[in-house]
Amino acid sequence: MPFHTYVQQHRDHFLQELSELLRFPSVSTDPAHAESVHRCAEWLAEHLSTLSPTSVELFPTPGHPVVYATWAGPPGTPTVLIYGHYDVQPPDPLDLWESRPFEPVIRNGRIYARGATDNKGQFFAHIKAIETVLHTHGQLPLTVKFLIEGEEEIGSLHLRPFIEQHRDLLACDAVLISDTAMYQDDLPTLCYGLRGLCYLEVTVRTAATDLHSGVFGGVVDNPIFVLSHILSRLRDGYGRVTIPGFYDHVLDPTPEERQRLAELPFDAEELRRHLGAPELFGEVGYSVLERRWLRPTLDINGIVGGFTGSGAKTVLPATASAKLSMRLVPNQRADDIAAKAEAAIRALAPPTAVVDVRALHGANPVLVPLDTPPMQAAARALEQTFGRPPVFVREGGSIPVVEWFTELLRVPTVLMGFGLETEGAHAPNEHFHVKNFLRAILASATFLHEYAHAAMQQ
């Protein structure tokens, strides 16, 4: 039976199973959801064990558990390690969701839920691809190892030591990850670069306790003023980050890459309208795509201080804090940038305030080569599934694990994503297109065969 027949026959059942998976509020950053994260991992291990794996295991970590399963392929065939993450972003602001974030519903050919596209829908497609190959061909054409972690949204805190401790278990010839986006709907995409991340929290204190703004306004400094002062001076009028040394190791894009990017279909006005932005904004001197993929940025992710309820309270607050993060590009390093950012923030702190800077997490940027056998097999699998060859892009987001696989396992990583940037990852009303869920299953099954076939021909 061809893959697509099996997938069509089991479409509804696959979606029911995905809905079960999406019902777990596996929010890794929130201690209140730790139990749900754990139950999600257990559900996955049980689900994988129904697909007759060689082994399946739940590895505890100091944080959330790692789900691992493997299927041994015929002797002499290569090994592919498929990675995904079952943890999700917090769903807030809840009031902007049109349906509840952990009660998946299908509307207009899309399945809505937190985690639908990032990343449950995408890695679950690979599990269904394994099922499809097993049920249509009786066995897998190569060895598959499946690693699903529960801490991606909080910087994959315990995965690097896990990989270091389990190099033999994870040994492979290629890594396959679907946690990136297609460049456009119906345009198959392979991603060869990711930005890194450096995430900090800054806290400002100007007094021991909140004060009456009438009585003490004009006597002690205001922590929100101090924080605004610091934050607003981390960026200049040209959209550049002003942290000293921030751009020291940034690789300039080559003329070839700029040309390749310029040839991709792109409509800035359509993007602006879609995002609902009065004007697009970014670093002067670079195109929108260059700003997203090739240039580092600094964003403030959250801020809070003083009275934030409804109405007016005439308080002079004692503290204010902000979370900020920088997206990094080759060859910036997260730890170097964290140190430079902290120094810059401390240099901006006035003597009227106690300023505390804490690094929350980091990831280095990555670039992967285009000419490896697994990348070429992925390109063929996408062409067979979509009827057109893929485009090659970079992405603005970060997947720290890609750098670790590269460094610790010394194999190429294929970033074959099926999400769309318009699907609300990290935002309200996250969803995943059902047609792309089904395509992902087909492309993954095809990839396993293409890669095994190419390896045998070598």
Q: Which of residues 35-74 bind its own copies (CB under 8 A)?
A: none
Q: Which residue has the tokens 């002003």?
A: 242
Cα separation, 130 vs 146, in Å, equals: 10
In whole angstroms, how far apart are CA 78 and each of 95, 440, 450, 455? Answer: 48, 21, 11, 7
Q: Which residue has the tokens 């140190």?
A: 339
Q: Which of 255, 265, 311, 387 binds its own copies (CB under 8 A)?
A: 311
Count Cβ neighbours within 10 Å for each residue of 32-64 and write b for 16 or more, e otherwise.
Answer: ebeebbbebbebbbebbeebebeebeebeeebb
The H or E element spanning position 15 is helix 11-22
Nearer to its own copies, 187 or 220 (CB): 220
List the beta strands (DSSP E) in 17-173: 55-59, 66-71, 79-85, 105-107, 110-112, 143-149
Nearer to its own copies, 65 or 305 (CB): 305
Q: Which of 262, 426, 435, 456 binds its own copies (CB under 8 A)?
A: 426
Binding span for its own copies by CB under 8 A among 12-20, 105-113, 247-255, 315-323: 315-323
Rule CB under 8 A: is residue 323 a binding residue for its own copies? yes
Could you say which residues in the range 115-174 bind its own copies, by CB under 8 A?
153-155
Query: What radius of gyration, in Å, describes the C-alpha atoms of the chain?
Result: 23
Could you say which residues in the range 386-415 bind its own copies, by CB under 8 A?
395-398
Least separation in angstroms between CB 5 and its own copies: 35
Q: Which of 6, 199, 404, 432 binds its own copies (CB under 8 A)?
A: 199
Q: Which of 4, 23, 29, 249 binds its own copies (CB under 8 A)?
A: 29
Q: Which of 81, 320, 375, 393 binds its own copies (CB under 8 A)?
A: 320
Could you say which residues in the range 347-366 bind its own copies, by CB under 8 A?
350-354, 360-361
Q: Is 354 helix (H, G, I), strand (E, B) or coil?
A: strand
Least separation in angstroms between CB 54 and its own copies: 35
Residues linked to residue 362 through DSSP beta bridges, in sequence order: 198
Nearer to its own copies, 167 or 426 (CB): 426
Q: Which of 278, 371, 387, 457 binds its own copies (CB under 8 A)?
A: 278
Binding span for its own copies by CB under 8 A among 66-74, 121-129, 277-285, 439-447: 277-285
Nearer to its own copies, 62 or 309 (CB): 309
Cα separation, 269 vs 275, in Å, equals: 10
**CB-based contact 5:27 (threshold 8 Å):** no
Could you say which residues in the range 76-115 bind its own copies, by CB under 8 A?
89-90, 92-93, 96
Residue type (1 letter), 321: S
